[in-house]
Amino acid sequence: MARGKFNKRGGGPRLDAENADEIEQRNARLAELEERRTQRRAEEEEDEDEEGGGGDEGAAAEQSGEATSTPAAKPKPEKAAPVTTAEDHKRNMAKLAEVKKRREVAEAKRKAETEAAEQAEEDRKKQAAAVTGDDGKKKKKEKEVKIPKLDKIQIKKMKPAQMKEALKLRGLEIQGNAKALTDRLLKYEAAR
């Protein structure tokens, strides 16, 4: 891949060499890197041998002069699933039962609170209806009476936002462009 001025992918020290000295330096760096890599791999293999504990295969290979080529050649010991005793099982089941009881109590409490809140809301609505009388229907009639009648000139001078507010007051649909709003408002006022 080309490493240009605007190429952001190329990183690290360059290993391109132009003369013999640079080639020697490059080769020395590469050899050093390779040596570190092999040293690190050897240490990892030793750590795995110590953790695995089954040094029979490794010891036999070392005595015969053979070395394992890759760490993947060694079989990895499988971890056994933890075994629970009967006592642990009973303890876990008791904890589970306690959690279920707590959830049931919390659910019952939440349900009672929501029912109480709904009942309080219904009582408040009934009291408000008793104060206004006829469940607030008088207020709606009064609002309808208070709506001013608009003539054609006033409607044509209105902006769309004003027309939408007038349509809302009259309980009409407010969707559409300015022409549709004007037509709807004119029809309503003409029929009024």
- Rounded to whole angstroms, the Cα distance separating 28 from 20 reads 12
To the question of pTM greater than 0.75 for the whole model, the response is no
pLDDT at position 188 is 92
pLDDT given for residue 58 in this prediction: 47
pLDDT at 74: 58
What single-letter DSSP state applies at residue 83?
A: P
The shares of helix, strand and coil residues in the chain, as percent rounded to the nearest 5, are 70, 0, 30
Residue burial 74-113, b: 16+ Cβ < 10 Å; e: rest: eeeeeeeeeeeeeeeeeeeeeeeeeeeeeeeeeeeeeeee
Alpha carbon of 72 to those of 2, 68, 69: distances in Å? 35, 9, 9
Q: At what angle do helices 160-169 and 178-191 cross, to 10 degrees?
A: 40
Taking the mean position of all CA atoms in its chain, how far away is CA 45?
41
Measured CA to CA, the distance from residue 29 to residue 176 in angstroms comes to: 74
The domain ranges of the chain are 19-51, 87-134, 147-191
pLDDT at 53: 55
- Mean pLDDT per block of 10 residues along the chain (192 residues) reads 59 66 88 94 87 53 48 60 83 94 95 92 83 57 67 93 92 93 93 84
* Per-residue DSSP letter, 80: P
Q: Where are the alpha helices (DSSP H) in 53-85?
A: 56-63
